[in-house]
């Protein structure tokens, strides 16, 4: 892909981007995304002008997604929202792995679905059903934009077998007693994403290598096991199931085509999962599988790895049980930069809650200021600066902390009374556009229920009559209902608390 400025210019002039106005081009071609494949930030240009094909590795549905999983999925949601903000039509696919993901992420070990089914004493299909529902309900609670489709691996067995058979036919894969392996020696580029070299993998391998493999680094596309509870008939025997990696290659191909603009996952997916996806897909169709590979860093808890033994593998309910709204978790998981490690603590949740409430208040203040149509416009420069800072931050590899800094600066100006009239309306629009990415702010429509307004009026009359007892009574009554009143030089101001 074109990298230098002159190459880009040439690309623009010779592609259908050339039909776009210079303004919209400037707007689109400013987003730089870190590509794990090239280890650098690159200007994002989709393969088809205006359309982004994005595949996100989704959950393995053997348990409720933990907050670390949610961080990776949320990164994909923020990326999708930013691309839409930039005017792209995003075709987003997030898969559901409901078979074939083995405990060790490679060819050995139990299937995670079956292990969970044994624990719960139910069949693996029921496990998949239960946790898929929980996953989708968590996404709803956390205000994710719905993907175009959440394809399930078990619904795509024919598509996987088509690829497996194609790879066997062209010599990239081979069968041994019902198992089919990808032959890494036939794909010299194996390792190009992760930087791993086949020789090093072999030398460093801790796992006993299966004798049936031609090369120790070969990986399974299809496995046979008559005891496996989720199994399908195939040219390799009656009791087979797919390897985890082939699932994503096949589902991406089916729903987005052979070439993707962006493929995402958590950092642990780089190897082996994404490396193997590249090998299978590119060996199968001979084209570059994904242009951008984007990975979120792992979430840590209390400075370390989440682990069952420490009892800190938190899920959404653990957060809401402690009185935090789901949006507080959403904000906590996205307020840092996705490529920086994030350490989850209960204190951070408290900070996030306070921070969101500040944004709510900013929106309320701007709502009220916007209603004053008589006020002269004041402080448009604050809004323009904030918008520029926000867009520059997000364009720089989704630098959310810079975007939040822009909102903070604007809040300062509003607090100092430097924003009014038309600028307040613009500022409110700006806060709404920031929230089209954050998805956490609560916007009030600026009006009050009549029963509340009439009591505020009654209190104002009581104050005029110096009836402090009645005035305080009404104020306390409203506070108990979530409306706080403050008396300022220009009269009473209300806000929801």
Which stretch in 57-65, 248-256, 449-457, 467-475 sits in contact with ligand AMP by CB under 6 A? 57-65
CA distances from 23 to 20, 226, 396, 402 (A): 8, 61, 19, 24
59 contact choice in ligand AMP, Zn ion, none (CB below 5 to 8 Å, kind-dependent): ligand AMP
Contact between 300 and 268 (Cβ < 8 Å): no
- Picking from 56, 49, 50, 53, the residue whose alpha carbon sits closest to that of residue 74 is 56
- Please list every residue from 304 through 343 that binds ligand AMP, using CB under 6 A: 306
Does 57 contact Zn ion by CB under 5 A? yes
In angstroms, the CA 333 to CA 416 distance is: 30
Does 306 contact Zn ion by CB under 5 A? no
In angstroms, the CA 31 to CA 82 distance is: 9
Which stretch in 138-146, 228-236, 249-257, 261-269 sits in contact with ligand AMP by CB under 6 A? 261-269
- Picking from 334, 338, 200, the residue whose alpha carbon sits closest to that of residue 275 is 200
How many other CB atoms are found less than 10 A from the CB of residue 150? 19
268, 396, 435, 470: which one binds ligand AMP (CB under 6 A): 268
Q: Which is nearer to Zn ion, 267 or 325 (CB)?
A: 267
Name the minimum Å distance from CB 430 to Zn ion. 37
46, 59, 151, 243: which one binds ligand AMP (CB under 6 A): 59
Name the minimum Å distance from CB 115 to Zn ion. 19
Does 129 contact ligand AMP by CB under 6 A? no
71, 255, 337, 411: which one binds ligand AMP (CB under 6 A): 71
Name the minimum Å distance from CB 197 to ligand AMP. 23
In angstroms, the CA 433 to CA 443 distance is: 12
Name the minimum Å distance from CB 97 to ligand AMP. 6
299 contact choice in ligand AMP, Zn ion, none (CB below 5 to 8 Å, kind-dependent): ligand AMP
List of residues 6+ apart from 18 with CB closer than 8 A: 12
Contact between 316 and 326 (Cβ < 8 Å): yes
Contact between 174 and 283 (Cβ < 8 Å): no
Interface with Zn ion by CB under 5 A: which residues?
57, 248
Interface with ligand AMP by CB under 6 A: which residues?
57, 59-60, 68-69, 71-72, 97, 265-266, 268-269, 296, 298-299, 306
């Amino acid at each position: 892909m074109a990298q230098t400025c002159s190459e880009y210019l040439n690309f623009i002039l010779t592609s259908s981007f050339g039909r776009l106005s210079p303004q919209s081009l400037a707007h689109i071609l400013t987003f730089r995304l870190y590509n794990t494949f090239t280890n650098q930030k690159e200007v994002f240009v989709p393969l088809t002008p205006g359309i982004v094909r994005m595949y996100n590795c989704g959950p393995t549905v053997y348990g409720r997604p933990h907050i670390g999983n949610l961080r990776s999925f949320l990164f994909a949601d923020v990326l999708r929202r930013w691309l839409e903000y930039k005017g792209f039509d995003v075709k987003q696919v997030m898969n559901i792995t409901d078979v074939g993901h083995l405990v060790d992420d490679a060819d050995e070990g139990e299937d995670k679905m079956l292990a969970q089914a044994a624990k719960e004493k139910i069949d693996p299909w029921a496990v998949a059903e239960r946790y898929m529902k929980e996953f989708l309900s968590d996404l709803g609670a956390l205000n994710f934009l719905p993907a175009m489709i959440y394809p399930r691996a078990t619904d795509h067995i024919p598509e996987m077998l088509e690829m497996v058979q194609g790879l066997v036919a062209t010599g990239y894969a081979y069968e041994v007693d019902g198992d089919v392996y990808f032959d890494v020696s036939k794909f010299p580029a194996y390792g190009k994403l992760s930087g791993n070299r086949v020789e090093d993998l072999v030398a460093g391998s801790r796992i006993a290598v299966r004798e049936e493999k031609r090369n120790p680094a070969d990986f399974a596309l299809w496995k046979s096991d008559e005891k496996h509870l989720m199994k399908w008939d195939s040219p390799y025997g009656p009791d087979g199931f797919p390897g985890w990696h082939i699932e994503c290659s096949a589902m991406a191909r089916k729903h987005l085509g052979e070439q993707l603009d962006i493929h995402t996952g958590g950092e642990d997916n780089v190897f082996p999962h994404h490396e193997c996806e590249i090998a299978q897909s590119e060996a199968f169709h001979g084209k570059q599988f994904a242009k951008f590979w984007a990975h979120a860093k792992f979430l840590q808890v209390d400075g370390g790895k989440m682990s069952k033994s420490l009892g800190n593998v938190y899920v959404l309910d653990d957060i809401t049980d402690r009185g935090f709204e789901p949006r507080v978790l959403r904000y906590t998981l996205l307020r840092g930069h996705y490529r920086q490690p994030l350490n989850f603590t209960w204190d951070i949740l408290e900070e996030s809650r306070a921070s969101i409430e500040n944004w709510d208040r900013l929106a309320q203040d701007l709502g009220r200021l916007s209603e004053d149509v008589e006020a002269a416009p004041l402080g448009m420069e604050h809004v323009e600066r904030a918008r520029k800072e926000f867009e520059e931050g997000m364009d720089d590899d989704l630098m959310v902390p810079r975007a939040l800094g822009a909102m903070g600066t604007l809040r300062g100006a509003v607090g100092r009374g430097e924003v009014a009239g038309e600028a307040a309306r613009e500022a409110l629009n700006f806060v709404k556009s920031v929230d089209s990415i954050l998805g956490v702010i609560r916007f009030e429509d600026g009006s009050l229920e009549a029963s509340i307004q009439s009591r505020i009026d009654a209190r104002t009359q009581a104050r005029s009559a110096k009836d402090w007892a009645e005035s305080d009574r009404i104020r306390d009554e409203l506070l108990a209902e979530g409306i706080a009143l403050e008396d300022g030089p220009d009269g009473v101001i209300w806000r929801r608390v």
